[in-house]
Structure 1
Amino acid sequence: MTPQKRLMVPLSLFAASAVLLSGCAIDTGNSSTPTGEAQKGGILKVGSNGDNDHLDPALTSYVPTQNFIRATNRQLLSYEASTDENTRIQVKADLAEEVPEATNGGKTYTFTIKEGANWDAADGPRQIVAEDVVRGFKRLCNPYRSSPLLGYFQTLLTGMDEYCAGFAKIEAKPEPMAKYINSAKLPGVRAVDERTVEFNLKEPAGDFIYMLTLATATPAPEEVLDYLPDSPEYRENFVASGPYTVEEYTADKSLKLVRNEAWKPETDTLRKANVDSIEMTMGLSADAVTQQLQAGTLDMSFDTGLAPSVAAQLAAAKDPDFSTVDAGSVNPFLWINVDSPSNDGALADKKVREAIQYATDKASVVQTLGGEAVAKVQNGIFGPGVLGYHDFDLYPTEGHKGDPEKAKKLLAEAGYPDGITLKMPYRNKDIEPQIAQTLQAGFEKAGIKIELIPVSPTDYYTEFLVNREETKAGKWDIAPMGWSPDWQGGAARSVFQPLFTYNGTESTYNLTNYDNKEADKLAAKAVQEPDAAKAQELWAQVDEIVMGDSIIVPVAAPTTRLYHSKRVQNFQPYALATQGDWTNVWVQD
């Protein structure tokens, strides 16, 4: 797990800084209700601990960076910022004139780019064209630094495997890379005419339109070929398509965005661009950001959040500037190491794994996270806000507190009347030790002794979870981890495929090569199903099959806790950033 990447996020980030994904759970105040008419002008002041991971949209996978991308770049499709969950996860046209229906048996999507949607090119505003869309996708597998989300598109786009194989042979310098991009064909993305672009897929994919909302799918202006991706030269010559562009940037220190004069508001129904500029100050602690938000010297946070105790106080006080949204994640869940030789290979026995399910005190973990105002009990592999999430529990216990006696009975039936001992590593940072101790206390009531192993966050995955030799040697038996989808709405593919599929080749995060062909078949149908309701039913079946195998124990679904200064009006969360949308708030003194 790499901290705060969209795919996997440490539980401590939910507990202490809470910056993740999706949905809408509890709105504890009325921060979304503006006071008076929208006001133009002013400076939106943003406080941050760290920097954007990248300014180049092809390379970013960091959740907070999505607000920067939203402000400076446009995609064919995107989301409307909203406090309403259903509105927030509906795909809307951005650069495209409309959201198209698939043709050719669900394998072809054709888009027309809005006239007047421009780049702020050095020689003046320039229409964004279909070739810019093609160029954006061609850059994804460049040999210098490929996109972290390349796999989704390489899997689907016709001819992209071959295109990327050819690109891998090219020298990682601007000139040869530009020559390859300009000459090699990518059949999966084709410019039909100046403003019409066509996508051709290997197979139907009902979730493809959701993928096109990603920063990864951003068109690329011709100027980017002069520089290595996200290089200092790229950043110095930044070309924007959104309502703001970069005026000043010092890595890890500060960022200033100002209005992009080439942007035409009549072409953009998703961004109102109320403030004149956005200034981000980096290097601040989470506590410092919170204090400045309360004082009004900052307006919004970037990558920091609220400690559970502070969030609980604000929720209890019904502070109008505090709200929460579902994170779309499951964090923590416990991965059960079926390959471990511990206890004579007990974890390979499904009854033993079911005993672990019943022994887990989920309610106490939720309380440790800050209570039901900021987290909820989780029972499946898909978090709230993901198509496939539904309310079910294959291992029910009263109040979700666990059932020690049932767990003991299952252990005895499996041949372990005296219980078992399990090794559980945990990250020795922030609230993680308390979570580990809470789990330990619940397990020991059921006769499951837990040996806690503190591990640095840096080593947690490399030395334990994704290290196959250590996994098979039984260096760990159960381990808490977290996962979040890469996009919103129809995002079940981005949970199921990396975690729960095995095609004969080990994947990083399917820790024990879990493989269920029935689930695979249903998932294959689900990703091709264009009807969202039918896809929901299929993914729900997948969820129940995986949970029936008891390979993981979902524990909690934390919400993202949002807080802003009193100056901020029209605070509407943007799905991909799980933060108020920079491009739609306004400031009022």
Structure 2
Amino acid sequence: MARKKLSPLAPLIVASAFALVLSGCSSAGGGDADAGEPQTGGTLKVLSNGDTDRIDPQLIAYVPSNSITRVISRSLLSYEASNDAEKRSALVGDLATEVPKPTDDGLTYTITLRDGATWDAPDGARPIVSEDVERGIKRICNPHIGAALGSYFITLIDGMTQFCDGFADVAPEAGAMKEYIEANDITGIETPDDKTVVFRLTEPASDFTSMLSLSTANPAPVEVLDYLPDSPEYRNNFISSGPYTIDEHKPDVKLTLTRNKSWDAKSDPLRKAYVDSIEMTMGVEVDAAMQQLQAGSADMLFDIQPGPANIQQLTAANDEKFSTLENGGVDQFMWINTKTDNNGGALQKLEVRQALQYAIDKSAVVQVMGGTDIATVTNGIFGPGINGYEEYSPYGDKSGKAAPEKAKELLAKAGVQNLTLKFPYRNLGSQPDIAQTVQASLEKAGITVELFPVPPTDYYANFMTNRENASGGEWDIALVGWSPDWVGGAARSVYQPQFTFDGTPQAYNYVDYNNDEANALADQALAASTPEEAAKLWHQVDQTVMKDSPIVSIAAKKKANYHSARVQNFSIYALAQNGDWANVWLTK
């Protein structure tokens, strides 16, 4: 069956006009401040609760995984690590010599690749060339595992929809996919020589350069075509373009990165690679991780954040190794499964979904997350810092206090009794406590909640994105978080992946939600001539979606980071929302 075409969205105006606010980060052990003379050597010890979602750059979607990708796979464009919000959100060249300017009325972007950038190929260092860039883009819509963030590119690059339609008919086997990729081109990508890549778009899109900072658009060496994307064989034969490469990966146990001897520091303006190796140990709980960092037996955190009690202690002690930043996302969305026939299809009724809006005590969740100093109640699809975010409350008041009697009234109006909801949760950090808080709120409204844990590594990659789990009624409500996919004017990266559907499934639109009125407003917002006009339209998008109640927006949380005393130059890499592994150094 041919792949159905995604409806293209209208262009964004200049991304810098909608710059995402990333704030509140202290100097945190050096950063842009004077951290002393850099030192090389040592092993950076990182603690993690779960594993990375993917190793394959095209498939990365989990924010913490950007820390890994940053050091093993170079992007066309990227960001400088910095503790200055404006500096770290400024797009710069990585493999590209500079950020390209659009030509041809905004339809054409020309990339020039930097000299000296190489693959750590099996036969020795080999230059990264323009064909590698096109190959990476082609892999986005492979029929084995499509890229979660691929929809941004598919209808935007001229000819890519047709390429992906053909790819959809190919057997999801390495040999067949390799043959298709090598035999077919994307007409909107031209490679006139080894150093030049020309992208031709279907419509002007000034956020296209921001998309090129995503690892989804990273170049790919020809050798990867011999393996299924992100398969064990792919991982065991990983070819690096960054300063480090994979030495060992034991899933859910350990990841060790060592120096890539083929990497040329002179070709890389963004990574200093001070440490000799990086060792990530998995399966660590929050309290144990914090104890190790404070004792100096470990250095940084991956998917773990300091817990509420830790935050209170660190704040009271004015510990400079603790820092926070706003990321523009909503930390706690509760998706409502409108695809299931559980409870006689009750969740397909608007009144029942509205009842859930009133039933949840968001203020109680904020307290579990660490209090109002680090978390805030949200009521829409956008978080603080996104152009289009406004404080408003379509259900109840802005405080987020529950109204269980109103919830009961709406359930009665819908003719629903004895509502029982299956509620998965990640067994990670404060997630169990948050799930129990939501459970308690719903039970006060007469709703029975059946909680069950899902391993953090599987939650998104295997459970929530498995569409059969939604249609088969494996879950009724589920908590997820969402951060903008890039830095800059990022409303599209919140709305499009989660709240649009045109027949082609999106990985993170768990119930195929779509609203034509909201889509039309989004088109207008993306074509707006001023940030102020766009903000009003995006807020209308927010209001329109929330009238349907596909989700309950609960709370936004500042990203909290902590590191050991021996970590110096802890500067934020914006896409990872964490200190940059590529630029920290360690005191002896």
| TM-score with structure 2 setting the length | 0.81
Offset of residue 156 of structure 1: 2.2
* Distance of 2:466 and 2:180 partners within structure 1: 39
Moved more, 496-505 or 124-133: 496-505
* 2:26–2:83 CA contact under 8 A, matched in 1: no
* Distance of 1:464 and 1:147 partners within structure 2: 15
Give 1:366's aligned residue: 366
* Distance of 2:164 and 2:259 partners within structure 1: 36
1:90-239 mapped onto 2 (5 Å cutoff): 90-170=90-170, 174-239=174-239
* Distance of 1:353 and 1:249 partners within structure 2: 43
Q: Secondary structure at the residue paired with 2:67?
A: helix
Q: Secondary structure at the residue paired with 1:554?
A: strand
The one-letter code matched in structure 2 to 1:117 is: A
Give 1:559's aligned residue: 558
1:16-27 mapped onto 2 (5 Å cutoff): 24-27=22-25
Give 2:577's aligned residue: 578
* 1:425–1:452 CA contact under 8 A, matched in 2: yes
1:9-408 mapped onto 2 (5 Å cutoff): 24-27=22-25, 30-31=28-29, 32=31, 33-170=33-170, 174-335=174-335, 348=349, 357=357, 360-395=360-395, 397=397, 399-402=399-402, 407=406
**Of 466, 470, 473, which aligns to 1:467?**
470
* Distance of 2:564 and 2:504 partners within structure 1: 49
Offset of residue 325 of structure 1: 2.5
Give CA-to-partner distance per residue, 1:418-473, whole Å, 9 cap, x none: 9987544433656456435544665687xx333222234379859999534649xx
Give 1:16's aligned residue: none
* Distance of 1:482 and 1:580 partners within structure 2: 20
* Distance of 1:246 and 1:417 partners within structure 2: 55
Give CA-to-partner distance per residue, 1:221-256, whole Å, 9 cap, x none: 233334443445544543322222334555544443
RMSD: 3.9
* Distance of 1:469 and 1:256 partners within structure 2: 38
Give CA-to-partner distance per residue, 1:327-371, whole Å, 9 cap, x none: 543232344577989799798466x86676456432221002221
Give 1:547's aligned residue: 546
* Distance of 1:566 and 1:515 partners within structure 2: 48
Offset of residue 36 of structure 1: 1.6
1:489-500 mapped onto 2 (5 Å cutoff): 489-500=488-499
Offset of residue 122 of structure 1: 4.6
The one-letter code matched in structure 2 to 1:289 is: A
**Of 421, 427, 435, which aligns to 2:424?**
427
Offset of residue 284 of structure 1: 3.8
Q: 1:455 to 1:415 in 2, by over 3 A?
A: closer
Q: 1:464 to 1:520 in 2, by over 3 A?
A: closer
Moved more, 176-185 or 309-318: 176-185
* Distance of 2:258 and 2:522 partners within structure 1: 44
* 1:205–1:530 CA contact under 8 A, matched in 2: no
| TM-score with structure 1 setting the length | 0.81
Give CA-to-partner distance per residue, 1:387-416, whole Å, 9 cap, x none: 4334444456364435678x48x959x985
* 1:327–1:557 CA contact under 8 A, matched in 2: no
Q: State the identity %.
A: 47
* 2:442–2:449 CA contact under 8 A, matched in 1: no
Q: 1:295 to 1:134 in 2, by over 3 A?
A: same
Q: 1:252 to 1:349 in 2, by over 3 A?
A: closer
* Distance of 2:252 and 2:535 partners within structure 1: 41
* 2:380–2:542 CA contact under 8 A, matched in 1: yes
Q: Secondary structure at the residue paired with 1:187?
A: coil
Q: Secondary structure at the residue paired with 1:166?
A: helix
Moved more, 569-578 or 497-506: 497-506
Offset of residue 276 of structure 1: 2.8
The one-letter code matched in structure 2 to 1:24 is: L
* 1:436–1:452 CA contact under 8 A, matched in 2: no
Offset of residue 269 of structure 1: 2.6
Give CA-to-partner distance per residue, 1:106-162, whole Å, 9 cap, x none: 332211112233333455543322111111112233344443333332232222233
Give 1:8's aligned residue: none
Q: Secondary structure at the residue paired with 2:155?
A: helix
Q: 1:26 to 1:372 in 2, by over 3 A?
A: farther
* 1:45–1:278 CA contact under 8 A, matched in 2: yes
* Distance of 1:303 and 1:567 partners within structure 2: 20
Offset of residue 482 of structure 1: 3.6
* Distance of 1:479 and 1:250 partners within structure 2: 29
Offset of residue 172 of structure 1: 5.0
**Of 449, 454, 458, which aligns to 2:451?**
454
Offset of residue 564 of structure 1: 0.8
* 1:296–1:567 CA contact under 8 A, matched in 2: yes
The one-letter code matched in structure 1 to 2:278 is: I
Gaps of 5+ in 1: 1-21
The one-letter code matched in structure 1 to 2:487 is: Q
Give 1:503's aligned residue: 502
Give CA-to-partner distance per residue, 1:446-505, whole Å, 9 cap, x none: xx333222234379859999534649xxx95x6644434433333333332343234367
Q: Secondary structure at the residue paired with 1:545?
A: helix
Q: 1:411 to 1:346 in 2, by over 3 A?
A: farther
The one-letter code matched in structure 2 to 1:383 is: G
Q: Secondary structure at the residue paired with 2:61?
A: coil
